[in-house]
Amino acid sequence: MNPDTEPFPAGPPVVELTLTPATPMVRGIRIFSLYSLALLLTGIVSVLFADLLWRTGWSGSRTILLILFVLLFFFAAIGFMHALYGFVLRRIDDVRQPKSIQANEPIDPAANTAIIFPIFNEDVIRVYEGLRITYNSLRSAGQVERFDFFILSDSTDPEKWIEEEKEWQNLMKKTGGMSRIYYRRRVDNEGKKSGNIREFLNAWGRRYRYFIAFDADSVMHGRTIVNLVNLMEANPAIGLIQTVPGIFNAGSLFGRMQQFANRFYAPIFIRGLDYWSEGFANYWGHNAIIRTEAFMKYCALPQLPGRKPFGGYILSHDFVEAALMLRENAQVWLAWQLDGSYEEGPPDMIENAKRDRRWCQGNLQHVMVLGARGMHGISRLHLIQGIFGYLASPLWLAFLLTFYWMWLVTREIGLSQITVHSWMADLDLGASEHAFLVFLLCMGVLLVPRVLAIIDAFFDPVRRRAFGGMAHILVGVLSETAFSTLHAPLQMLWHTRFVFTILRGRTIDWGTQTRTADGTTWTYAIEQQWWQTVIGLASGGVILWLMPNTFVWFLPLFIGMVLAIPLSVLTSRVSWGDAAKEFGLFLTPEETATPPELVALQARLALAEEDAPVRHPPYLVQSVVDPYLNAIHVSMLREAKLNPESAEALARVGASGPDVKWIAEKLLVRGFDALKPGETMSILSDADSMAWMHRQIWLRPEETMAPMWREAIRSYCS
């Protein structure tokens, strides 16, 4: 099937759904009940824990330990309650349906929608193939004429910039999307992603009633998009609808486990989340439809006062934008009922950590806006949970260190662990049984959501089959849980490091990533994770020295650290991921019954990899030598000058400046290597110089120019 010419078969089923928020009283009761139950559970388990500490004699370190325990357990209990509520709601099929949205209901011609792809030095082929598939899917849904696509580049790598322009032209040719798929590159990336979107809205926002934000790896089904527009049309009070993107296309073992966890566990958590936040949900930055006017009016983000990391541009803008929408009474919904929304996950542990590093900084910065006046209480709740998602790690580490300290003191003083009378004695529980009970309760809070997800699948034959059947599900959950147990302490170490480096205003040097086709190399893993192994060995040694009798119980805590490097390398292996797939492990609905869009995408990406041309001259050189690429580039620069914001930015980077002719001459004679980075961007940003250089390259005798030009010219031969 040629997806550019043949329509995709019917997409996700028609979803009957209404988006009417609960009354404030009902919402209040829901929030109160969910969080109160979490608090109640925390209270009960904390009292048991306090009692356990009491039995061995109270001390200052025990007070700290208890405070940390309460905090950590409370947030775990909130997660647990979300899963419990979600599970129950899913079982009683709590989908309200007063208003039906038909998938193929034609969209009002005035409801123009822009689909935007903000990109920053991304894998161009992957982004464009995702766009292409979404475009074709919308065409199959018969509504593509209501949409314009915008590739909004913030790329700073000149090679990526030129590649984006070149492939954009190819994309238009393949899809026939001329005058429907646009490409715009920002000259500077002021304000990062939110600044990129703001510049788009300043130029074209008023043309579109809605815009749908995509991530670089997003794919959405055409009918899902149509559904979203129709939902917005039917509910004028809504400012934003966030879909729940399913992770797909994972190849490595790590990627497949994350993908499985996302698709298998997320629905019950999401259902619980939606229960109390409906109409007051959050925005995750992509795969969401937004009412343009409301966004432009309410969501222009100010710069935060103070220095970095807390001051300056708001990095995780999405949460704040949702909060600003809610502040102005524009509803924000989480459309968990809609399928056909996808994104990709990181392929390995280190990439996962890199993403966490970005999110961590953004979420910590939310401390600044937490107390903003006029913000809805629910928005504060979302922000707190986001912040705690990363603060939990240093707290957990502090908990462990305090615990070790307690044992060290006991050992040094030489006192025996004589237990005193406690409530548990009334229940006829010895100290060990008491400790085991607390341990079981903690494990329960962490593991019961997984069990609930299994039960949920057990009662849902469609879902069961979609994950490969009950046996495969059970093995998958067990294996994923085992891996998570090893991975969690590594996450703790990483997040703790992120929090502290961010607070100190430092960055992390990730070095140059080296990956083979099959995954992370050993060298790179050693470079990035040796410190985790050292900490693991040290903490294992300390535990063995302090508590030899209970050493085995602590194994899961540090074994993951000790094995950090092999774990990272082996789980990054695509061959291991493929083997797991062959065994039917970690299957997801998108693998057991792959939607045609994703089949087409995977086929195209495989083809692109096979057909990747041996590119003799770099894109940078091609932008001067190649008659077509040069014409595209020069035309786009001339277009950019028409936008006053872009024209100003072009002037700032030195385009049309007094030095540019001299730089061009230097480039011709000495090549790109002779230019400073700023000069490369100046020359690439100057339309007249680029056009002039193209002529000169072909007119001048080759011996008067840098050898790279001669080689580039000679690469064209019949």
Q: Which residues bind another protein (CB under 8 A)?
A: 148, 150, 169, 173, 178-179, 182-184, 198, 201-207, 296, 298-306, 310-311, 324, 367-374, 625-628, 630-632, 634-636, 638-640, 642-644, 688, 691-692, 694-695, 698-699, 701, 713-714, 716-718
Based on CB atoms, which residue is closest to another protein, 200 or 265? 200
Helices (H), 366-430: 377-413, 423-426
CB of residue 646 to another protein, shortest distance in Å: 9
CB of residue 188 to another protein, shortest distance in Å: 16
DSSP assignment of 118-137: EESS--HHHHHHHHHHHHHH
The contacts found for 55-58 with CB under 8 angstroms, 24 or more apart, are 55/419, 55/420, 55/422, 55/424, 55/431, 55/434, 56/410, 56/417, 56/418, 56/419, 56/420, 56/431, 57/415, 57/420
- φ/ψ of 291, rounded to 5, equals -75, 115
Taking a C-beta distance cutoff of 8 angstroms, is the pair 252, 173 a contact? no
Based on CB atoms, which residue is closest to another protein, 36 or 635? 635
CB of residue 692 to another protein, shortest distance in Å: 6
Distance CA 518, CA 577 (A): 10
Pairing of strands 288-291, 210-213: antiparallel
Distance CA 544, CA 551 (A): 6
How many other CB atoms are there within 10 angstroms of residue 196's CB atom? 22
Structure tokens at 61: 């370190």
CB of residue 600 to another protein, shortest distance in Å: 23
CB of residue 639 to another protein, shortest distance in Å: 4
Taking a C-beta distance cutoff of 8 angstroms, is the pair 474, 584 a contact? no
CB of residue 640 to another protein, shortest distance in Å: 7
| Furthest CA-CA distance within the chain | 98
Based on CB atoms, which residue is closest to another protein, 95 or 203? 203
Count, in order, helices (H) and strands (E) of the chain: 28, 12
Based on CB atoms, which residue is closest to another protein, 101 or 320? 320
Based on CB atoms, which residue is closest to another protein, 150 or 359? 150
Based on CB atoms, which residue is closest to another protein, 72 or 691? 691
Query: Given the structure tokens 């050693």, which residue do they identify?
Result: 526
Q: Which residues contact 362 (CB under 8 A, 6 or more apart)?
A: 314, 315, 316, 317
How many other CB atoms are there within 10 angstroms of residue 525's CB atom? 24
Based on CB atoms, which residue is closest to another protein, 32 or 698? 698
Q: Which residues contact 528 (CB under 8 A, 6 or more apart)?
A: 350, 353, 510, 511, 568
CB of residue 291 to another protein, shortest distance in Å: 14
Based on CB atoms, which residue is closest to another protein, 202 or 594? 202
CB of residue 222 to another protein, shortest distance in Å: 21
Of the candidates 266, 367, 366, 387, the one whose C-alpha atom is nearest the C-alpha of residue 322 is 366
Of the candidates 4, 156, 62, the one whose C-alpha atom is nearest the C-alpha of residue 678 is 156
CB of residue 327 to another protein, shortest distance in Å: 9
CB of residue 543 to another protein, shortest distance in Å: 32
User: For 290, what's the count of Cα atoms within 13 Å in the CB-facing half-sphere?
Assistant: 31
CB of residue 243 to another protein, shortest distance in Å: 24
Based on CB atoms, which residue is closest to another protein, 4 or 578? 4
- φ/ψ of 239, rounded to 5, equals -100, -30
Based on CB atoms, which residue is closest to another protein, 438 or 691? 691
Structure tokens at 663: 């730089």
Distance CA 142, CA 343 (A): 24
Give CA angle at 323 (240, 201), nearest 5°: 55
CB of residue 716 to another protein, shortest distance in Å: 4
CB of residue 187 to another protein, shortest distance in Å: 12
Based on CB atoms, which residue is closest to another protein, 591 or 686? 686
Based on CB atoms, which residue is closest to another protein, 98 or 701? 701
Based on CB atoms, which residue is closest to another protein, 114 or 247? 114
